[in-house]
Chain A
């Protein structure tokens, strides 16, 4: 067994654990920039996973998808988010409605829940249970981040984490979607982040804060 094959097998076997670790750290993170870095790391773990699959399956399309993930999710989107954070000149606090310990407890509960949720499917479909659970955990975690964090930028990051979950789910159940569709999804995502960035600026200019819990009335 060559060294590269060994690394590919290890990347596949332990990527679920690394994804869980990034989720728990996101729950504990107090600053928006930390969350952006963690999102970038999370996407890098996914890219490693795809590279492992591409090596095992000898598929050229998978290499292209991995390259897309690295350029869009690991570099471009975090860079754009960092620019937004810098230009907003707002405070870095995520302003969570749960305390740090509560968030980590809830995140731990979501991870366990996702294991119980996928157990029947993993057996009948003969899939990797850990990775499927990681996909469901990413979905739940993204939704949790969106509802519990009050800063408008954290809703964007929550949505991106949720999207990562859908991506991992597609990867584990069908070994990824066709390349054309992947490209479409990435383009969509990039446009989405730009639009949401614009929205965040509009919210800041109209309301002079980014706290979505205070957005109760319509304003012109």
Chain B
């Protein structure tokens, strides 16, 4: 029974990822007084891309073809570590908060290699910017996760979520508040949303993620798009799991199991709406201000770790 739920929640994260980007695009369009495309458009887009021919530049090596596959595989593996419907995950090893962070990093590393292998100057430009952002985002991400881990006396994601579920929902800990602030800033940078990166731009001066995938087409592009949608969903699921896991099925009763997906869907839709509001109301930062933006996340994460010693 437990194994079945774990398998379902991992597959669920992979399957609903395009829908989350659809919801964000739709709510953004409605905030800007447009009707917007259907919620299911990302799926249609993926289907279309999978049917198309995969064009590879003459200068590219075999790495160019492998990179999207490795990116997708690493992100899908990371999905198996995130508790969604109940406080337990398919892969539950001690220390998996570090593994989770670096599985995402492996995917990003290969995407950067593939971008540089494509041979266009935009690929190199996007890859170097992505390297800057990810190097700056890594420290606050790990520190914030570690502060939460110290507080819950466990280094596994499922253990952290279980510790939060058992907490009194009204009890506000300073560590959680600061870690949440740091993780939200990092999540924006990691998933390439405004104000760090604009996912819908194709202007060479500002793009980061889009510059890296310019040379890709067909099934490779589909895998990359799916993987980045999945990464966004994973990080949103992680945020709800660590900071607001209430509504997860803590026992195996039928009612709890039916309620959990509904509560998760509501939380995810709310977060997607918040992203749409942020993206419609804030301008993108200049690229030289991104270190400043992530420096704030580092300060918050360090404060969160320091408070684990103070708040006893």
Contacts and interface: CB of A to CB of B under 8 A. Distances in A.
B298 A101 contact: yes
Contacts, number: 58
A100 to B, nearest CB: 5
Nearest to A16: B174
A16 B292 CA distance: 26
B261 interface: no
A2 B300 CA distance: 35
A17 B299 CA distance: 16
A14 B293 CA distance: 27
Given A14-B172, A17-B174, A20-B174, A101 B296 contact: yes
B293 A100 contact: yes
Contacts of A28: 296
Contacts of A111: 303
Contacts of B294: 101
Interface in B174-206: 174, 177-178, 181
Contacts of B292: 99-101
A218 to B, nearest CB: 37
Q: Is the interface of A mostly helix, strand, loop or mixed?
A: helix
B170 A10 contact: yes
Interface in B254-312: 291-296, 298-300, 302-303, 306, 310
Interface residues of B, number: 21
Nearest to A28: B296
- Which of A16, A100, A104 has the most CB atoms of chain B within a 10 A radius of its CB? A104
B296 A104 contact: yes
Contacts of A21: 177, 181
A202 B278 CA distance: 38
B172 A101 contact: no
Interface in A13-52: 13-14, 16-17, 20-21, 24, 28
Contacts of A84: none
Contacts of A13: 171-172
A186 interface: no
B302 A108 contact: yes
Given A17-B172, A104-B300, A115-B310, A24 B295 contact: no
B298 A112 contact: no
B303 A112 contact: yes
Contacts of B171: 13-14
B306 A17 contact: no
A108 B172 CA distance: 19
Nearest to A119: B310
A99 B291 CA distance: 10
Given A10-B170, A108-B303, A112-B303, A17 B177 contact: yes
A21 B296 CA distance: 13
A24 B293 contact: no
A6 B170 CA distance: 10
Contacts of B177: 17, 20-21
Interface string B67-93: 000000000000000000000000000
A214 B303 CA distance: 34
B303 A101 contact: no
Contacts of A115: 310
B181 A24 contact: yes
26 contacts: A10-B170, A10-B172, A13-B172, A14-B172, A17-B172, A20-B174, A21-B177, A24-B178, A24-B299, A24-B300, A24-B303, A28-B296, A100-B292, A100-B295, A100-B296, A101-B291, A101-B294, A101-B298, A101-B299, A104-B295, A104-B300, A105-B295, A108-B303, A108-B306, A111-B303, A112-B310
Interface of A: 6, 10, 13-14, 16-17, 20-21, 24, 28, 99-102, 104-105, 107-108, 111-112, 115, 130
The list of the 3 closest CB pairs from A to B, nearest first, reads A101-B295, A104-B299, A14-B172
Interface of B: 170-174, 177-178, 181, 291-296, 298-300, 302-303, 306, 310
Given A101-B295, A108-B303, 20 more contacts: A6-B170, A13-B172, A14-B172, A16-B174, A17-B174, A20-B178, A21-B181, A24-B181, A24-B300, A99-B292, A100-B292, A100-B293, A100-B295, A100-B296, A101-B294, A104-B296, A104-B299, A108-B299, A111-B303, A112-B303
